Structure 1
C-alpha cells in the first residue's frame, strides 16, 4: 500500500498516522508566516464518501495501479451482485441490488477507498494551476486522511477554481461529491483585500481564526494552539474524572481508567501538536489524577512511586510529562529515519535550515539563529536539550555528531574520503571510529589516499581534537542513540522511548527501605523481583493483585500510624493484646494473628506436603522458595493470596478470619480461574493446579482440621489477651 498510495494520503496506510497530516499543516502555516507567503487552508469534506464509491471506477483504478488478477477476483467476489432490504416499522421491502459503495465494517474498505481516491490526488498534484507552499525539496498542495482533504493554497484566486474543476471532473467519473456546507476556509496570511476577493469566488464557510482538522484545532497564530487544544482537553478531562469519581471503582481500577481512557487522548494531542507546553499544565494534570485516585482521602503513596513500572515497584501510573517527552523523542527518531516518506519532514527542514538528521547533534548555540522559533522543530529541540543529559539519552558531543551539514565544521569532505569510512549516505563521528579509536586511513596501504583526501582527513582530525568534551565521542552509543543510528522508524515508539526514560530514573520506592528496617535485614534485588513478579503476575484476579500491592506498599494504616495523624488516637493493637499496633505487629507479630498464620501454614502443608518457612518474608512478601513460574502454577500461592486478602476484612476488629471464609474465598478464586479456561491445554493446567485442593477438601483429615481451626478461634474469643 505505501508504494501504491502517495505520501499525501496518510489515512489507513501502514506506517502513516494522523499526526503526519496535522504536523505537516502546522509546519506549512508557520512557513507561510515566516516567508510572508499569502496562504489559506481549504478543508473539504466528502459527502457520504464511502457510500458513493463507483465500483466500475474502483476496479478500473485497481487495474491501472497494477493490482493482480487474482486479487481483483477476490475483491470482485465481495462485490458480486449484493442485495439489501429495508425494514420500516417492522415491514421489509423487496430486495434491491447495490451498485456502489464499500462494504460497511469490512477491513478492506478503507484500503480500497484510499486507492479509489488516488487518481484525484494525483491529478491535483500534476495540475500546475493548483499551487501550494514550497518546502525544502517539494511543493505541498494537499494533505489527505481518507476523505478529509486539506489544501494549502498559496494563489487562491487561481487555485480554488481549479480545485473545483478537478473535483467536478473526478466526481463525474467516480461518484465522489464534496459537501460544500461542511467545507471551510481558514485565512493564514492573506490581507483583508485578498480575502474579500476570494469570498466572491466560493461559497465555503470562512473560519474565525481557527479550524477543526482531524480532532485538532488549527489556529492562524501559534500562541492560540495551547489554549484551543490542551486547555479545552484539560477542561473535558476534569469533567469526566469528576463524574467517574463517584463511581464504585477499585483503587487499581481508577489507575486503569487513567491508562485506558485518559492517556490515549493526551497522547494523540502530544503527537498531533508537537508544541511546547508549560510546566503548569503537567502539575495541574498530576493534581487532577491524584484527586481521582484518592477521591475521599489524602494520598497514601507518592505519585512518583505509583508511576514506576511494575517491575520497579510501582503500578505503571502514566507520567504524562514523560509521555510528552517520549512523543518528541519519537520525532527525533523519525528525523533520523533514512526513508520515512513523511512529508512534514520536508517542511520542517525548510524551517530549520539544516538537514533534520543532523540537527539534534549540533551544538545548541549554533542553532539559535538558524531554526525558526515557535515551530515544531524548535519545540522538539528545546525539550531535547533539556532532557538529553537528565535521562542519559546522549551527551554533548555525541558519536552521532554530523561531519556534514554541520555549521561548526564548514567546508566540503570529498566523497572518496567518506566512502573509505562508510557507505551510508550520512557521515558522522561514529564512522571514523573503530574500537574506541580514530581510524588512521593514511596508514592503510590497501586504500591509498589522494592529496585532497589526506588534506580533508587531517582537517577533520584537527576539528575533532579541538572539540570541547571530545572524549565523549569515543564512548559506546546509548540505547536512544542506537535507535537513532538504525535509521528506521520504530514500532510502538512511544512505549519504547517511555521505557528508556523510566529506566533512567533511579528512584527506589520508599517502602522497600521501610521493609528492610521493619525486618531488620537487607532484601536483595532478586528477592524484590520475586515479590513484585508474584504480586502482579501471581494471579489474574485484580482484587488479589490490589491486596498484594497494598500489603507490600504499607497502604493499610496501623493503630500506631492512625494515632500519629489524629489527636486522640490509641496506638494499641485492636486485638486486645496490650501491645503497640505497628504495621508489622498487626500483620505478623501480634500473638493472635500468629495463630492465624500457623493455621495457614498447617493447611499449606496438608495441600502440598511442603512447609514454607514461617516468617513474614514468605507470608507477607511472597518470597517463597521455588521458581516464579512454578509458584504461579501452584495451589500454595493461591491459598496464600486468599489468606492474606482476608486479614483486611477484619481490620480494626479483634476477630480473625474463619476457615469457612477462607474456603469461600479460595473457591471463588477457583471459579474465576475456571471461567478463564479457553483450551484443552489450559484446562489441563487448571486441573493440575487445583487437583490437591479438590481432593483434600472432602477428606476426613481436612474436616478434622476445620474443627481445629474453629476450636482455636473459640479459645481466642474466650480469652482475648492470650495466644
Structure 2
C-alpha cells in the first residue's frame, strides 16, 4: 500500500483525519482554551508509515544536526544539555565573565511551522524524491476533529505545523530548526564561551532553546534580528514576554538597561530548562530542585495512603510512578545528594508500604531483586550512584562525544577529564570544574567497592596523564596514537607489558621512537606492578569507557550489579526455615523457589500469599511471646507444643492431617503421587518429576492451601472445606486473565485436570459467575 503512494495514489481523507482530545491542565481556569493540552490520535496506517520513515531518518540525523541539538537525535540524551549549561555557568563564575542564560519560548512551535518552508528545507537537506513523496502524502490535506465528552466537532483542515502524535514529526522539526541554529552559530556578533576551538552558546532540545550569551549588549540585538527574520520565513515566532533570562555576573546597571529594552522575564534566581531549575551557582542546584520533588512525592504518598492497596501494589506504585521522577534528577544533575533528605523520603516510602504500621519485613530484603529473594523495592541511594556513574564513560572522548566533555577538558587543562579519572587521588591536581569534581568523588568512593576498576587500570590513558610527564607533549607521540597505543591496556599481554622487541616485530617500531618506547614501557610497568592477579581482563565498566558511551539501560545494568548481594543466602528467613524444617537447601534450590514464587500467579492477592509465607510474615505464638512476655507461646490449636512458624504451618498434628488431604486431592486431580515436602508446599519449590503444566496447577493448589490455612490462623481447627471453593475462585480469575491476554488455550491445558475433577469435564457457568 505504501509503495502505491509513490505512483500518485493518496490516503483516503478519513485516514488522514486526527482525533483531538483536550486534557485540562490542573488548577487552572477551564473556561480558557489555553488551559487545555490537546492530545492527537492518528490513524494506525499513518503512524506505521511515519514510524518507518522516522526509523530511516534517525540513522542519518546525527550527521546532519550539530551536537548542540539533543532533542530526538539518536545517542543524545537530555543529560547532555543540562550538564553543558551547568558547566557554562560554572565557567562564567570561575572566570567572572558577565553572562546571560536565555530560555526562548517558541509560540506553539510544532503547530506553527509553515509547510512551504518545511518542504524547501527538506529539499536543501537532500531528502530524496521518494522519501519526500511519502512525507507529502502524510501532509496532503489532513483534517482533525475535536472530541469533548459526547460532543464531536465537524472536521476542519490543518494547514501548518508538524502533526502531533506522529513519530516523524520531531525529526522533521529538528531539520526545520537547524537553519536557525546555523545562523546563530555562524554569527560572530552573538557571543558565547569559546574554548579549544569549540563555541558554546546554543543549547537545544527540539523547540526548547537555551542560549548562553556573553557581551549581551552586542549579542541580544543581533539575536533578536535573526529570530525576527527566521519567524517571517518559517512561521516560528518567539514569545518575548514568556522568554526567561537569568543574569550571571552582570552589573546591576547593565541588567536594568537590558530589562528596559528587552521585555523578557528577568528572573533573579533560576530559569527552568527541561524541568530543571538552573541556578546562578552550582551550590544552589540541589536546593532549587530536590526539595520540590521530595515534597510532591510525599504529597502523592499521603494521597495514595487513603486507598486500600496491597503492599505489593504499593511497592509497584513506587517503582512505576515515583522512581522515574527521582531517576530524572539523578541522571541530569551531576551534584551531591544530601543523604539525610533521602533517608527521610525512604522513611515516608516505608510508612506508605506498611500503611503507617510497623514493618513486617526488613527493608534490605524488600530491596533485593525478586531473582535474589526480595521484592525489588528501589534502593534510592544505589540508583543515584548508578545514574551518576553513567556519566563516566562519556569522559573518554571520541568522535561522538557530547559537547560538555570538551568543556570539562578545557577546565581540566593541561590534563584531560579522562586522564584525571584514572589518576590516584594523591597525584591528582586541583580540579576547577564542580561537576567533574563531583563525578570523580563518586568514582573514587565506589569504583573499588563495586569492582568497576581493574587493579592494573587498562583503560588508563598514557598521554596527558599527570603521572606521565613526557606525555604532556602529545604531538611528540603521534606515531603511538596512530598505532592505537594510547592506553595501558593496549601495551599489555597475558605475560605483562610489551617489550621493545615485541613492538619491533608486531608494530614495526621505527628507530626514532626507541627513546619514547622506553619512557612509555617504564610507565606501563609501574601500572602493571599494581596487578597482583596478573590478569589483563577489563571489567564491564572499563569496556564501556573504551567505547566512550554506555549501553542502553546503563543505569539498570549498573544498579543490578551493585545491588546484587555478595552472599545470596545471607537472609534471615532462609536461616529460620532451614532450622525449623531441619533441611538446608543450596543456592540453586533457593533460586528455583524465588523464580517459581514470582511467576506463580498474575493475581496480586495470591502472589502476596506466597511471599507472606516465604518471608515469615505471620506472627506466631512463639514470636508473640517474645514480644509480649506474658503471652502463651504454645500452638493455638491446643497441641501444647511451642508455636513456631514451622510448627504452625507444617508439623502441628492438625496441619499434618490438613496437608495429607491436600496431597490426596492433588493425586485425585493429576494422578501424581507426590511426597510431602514443606519446601514445595509452603515455599513454592518446584516439584520434581511433573510436567510444566502440572507444575503450574500444583502451584495454584498450594497457593490456595496456604491461604486457607492462613484464614484459620488463630482458630483451633483448619477448615479444609474452604479449599475447593478457593481453588474455584483462582480458576475463575485465571480464566478471565487468560482471555484478556489471549492465552486461553494455555489456560485450558493447565486447568483441564481440575475441570475434569471438579466439573466433570464441563465448564460450569455457575462457577464463572462466582
Distance 1:566 1:135, change over 3 A: farther
**Contact 2:298 2:345 (8 Å CA) reproduced:** no
User: 1:717 aligns to what?
Assistant: none
Distance 1:645 1:134, change over 3 A: farther
Quote the Cα distance in structure 1 between the aligned partners of 2:208 and 2:226: 16
- C-alpha deviation, 1:286, in angstroms: 2.3
* d(CA) in 2 for partners of 1:221, 1:421: 38
Q: Which residue matches 1:564?
A: 626
1:526 has 2:588 as partner = yes
Aligned pairs for 1:100-499 within 5 A: 100-336=160-396, 338-353=398-413, 354-369=415-430, 371-372=431-432, 375-395=434-454, 397-412=456-471, 423-424=483-484, 427-443=486-502, 444-445=504-505, 447-467=507-527, 470-472=530-532, 474-475=534-535, 476-499=537-560
Q: Does the CA contact (< 8 Å) of 1:674 and 1:686 recur in 2? A: yes
Q: Which residue, out of 28, 35, 39, partners 2:99?
A: 39
> How far did 1:547 drift?
1.6
Cα distance in 1, alignment partners of residues 155 and 446 from structure 2: 64
Q: Check conservation: 1:398, 1:472, Cα contact below 8 A.
A: no
2:712 aligned with 1:683, yes or no?
no
Conserved in 1, the CA contact under 8 Å of 2:230 and 2:236?
yes
Query: Tell me, what secondary structure is at the counterpart of 1:676?
Result: helix
Contact between 1:401 and 1:429, CA under 8 Å: does it hold in 2?
yes
Cα distance, 1:18 vs. partner?
2.0
Taking the aligned partners of 1:264 and 1:405, their CA distance within structure 2 comes to 38
Matched, 1:664 2:725: yes
Structure 1 residues 407 and 446: alpha-carbon distance in aligned structure 2, compared to 1, 3 A threshold: closer
Task: Kindly indicate whether structure 1 or structure 2 has the higher relative contact order, using CA contacts under 8 Å at least 6 residues apart.
Answer: 1
> Conserved in 2, the CA contact under 8 Å of 1:337 and 1:484?
no
TM-score of the superposed pair, with normalisation by structure 2: 0.85
Match of 1:54 among 110, 114, 133: 114
TM-score using structure 1 length:
0.91
Distance 1:50 1:37, change over 3 A: same
2:128 paired residue number:
68
Comparing 267-276 and 130-139, the one that deviates more: 130-139
- Matches of 1:547 and 1:337, distance apart in 2: 52
Q: Say if 1:90 and 1:138 are closer, same or farther in 2 by CA, change over 3 A.
A: same
Q: Which runs of 5+ in 1 are unaligned?
A: 701-723
Find the residue that maps to 1:402 and give its secondary structure. Answer: coil
Q: Tell me: CA distance 1:183–1:692, structure 2 relative to 1, closer, same or farther (3 Å).
A: same
Q: CA 1:297–1:89 in 2, change beyond 3 Å: closer, same or farther?
A: closer
* CA distances 1:429-472 after superposition (whole Å, capped 9, x unpaired): 11111124222242554654334422222222323444595225
* Deviation of 1:70 (Å): 1.4
**Contact 1:534–1:628 (8 Å) recurs in 2:** no
Give, in whole Å, the separation in 1 of the partners of 2:659 and 2:754.
Answer: 18
1:421–1:432 contact (8 Å) kept in structure 2: no
How far, CA to CA, are the matches of 1:81 and 1:515 in structure 2?
Answer: 70
Could you tell me which residue of structure 1 aligns to residue 644 of structure 2? Answer: 582
2: CA distance between counterparts of 1:632 and 1:189? Answer: 73
**Structure 2 unaligned residues grouped into runs of 5+:** 1-60, 762-770
Aligned pairs for 1:691-706 (under 5 A) are: 691-699=752-760
Cα displacement string for residues 660-694 of structure 1 (whole angstroms, at most 9, x for unaligned residues): x3233323323333333369983332221111111
C-alpha distance in structure 2 between counterparts of 1:261 and 1:679, whole Å: 24
Cα pair 1:132 1:139 within 8 Å, conserved: yes
Correspondence list, 1:586-625, <5 A: 586-625=648-687
Over 3 Å counting, the alpha-carbon distance change for 1:309 and 1:679 in structure 2 is closer
2:612 equivalent in structure 1:
550
After TM superposition, the structure 1 stretch with the greater mean CA deviation from structure 2, 395-404 or 143-152, is 395-404
- Structure 1 vs Structure 2 CA RMSD: 2.7
From the superposition, tell whether residues 649 and 144 of structure 1 become closer, same or farther in structure 2 (CA, over 3 Å): same
C-alpha separation in 1, matches of 2:440 and 2:220: 36
* 1:87, distance to aligned residue in structure 2 (A): 8.4
Query: Secondary structure of 1:217's partner?
Result: strand
The Cα offsets for residues 166-221 of structure 1, whole Å up to 9 and x where unpaired, read as: 11101100110111121111011212232233223311121011122211111112
CA gap 1:527/1:66 in 2 versus in 1, 3 angstroms: same
Is the CA contact (8 Å cut-off) linking 2:687 and 2:695 kept in structure 1?
Answer: no
Shift of 1:418: 7.7
What is the SS of the residue equivalent to 2:466?
coil
Residue 261 of structure 1 deviates from its aligned partner by: 1.1
Deviations 1:204-260 (Å, cap 9, x if unpaired)? 121011122211111112221111111221122122212212221111111111111
CA contact (8 A) 1:307 1:319 kept: yes
Contact 1:533 1:628 in 2 (8 A): no
1:27 aligns with 2:83: no
> SS of 1:212's equivalent?
strand
| Cα distance in 1, alignment partners of residues 400 and 563 from structure 2 | 27
Q: Quote the Cα distance in structure 2 between the aligned partners of 1:509 and 1:331.
A: 34
Within 1, Cα distance between the matches of 2:72 and 2:476? 43
Distance in 2 of aligned mates of 1:285 and 1:395:
35
Is 1:361–1:396's contact at 8 Å kept on the other side of the alignment?
no
Of 535-544 and 45-54, deviating more is 535-544
- Local SS of the residue matching 1:101: coil
Q: Give distance in 2, aligned partners of 1:85 and 1:297.
A: 51
Which residue of 2 is the match for residue 705 of structure 1? none
CA shift in 2, pair 1:416/1:183, >3 Å: closer
Q: Per the alignment, in what secondary structure is the counterpart of residue 325 of structure 1?
A: helix
Deviation at 1:621, TM superposition (A): 2.1
**2:735 corresponds to 1:674:** yes
**Cα distance, 1:506 vs. partner?**
3.9
Aligned-pair distance for 1:367?
A: 2.6
Partners of 1:19 and 1:272 within 8 A in 2: yes
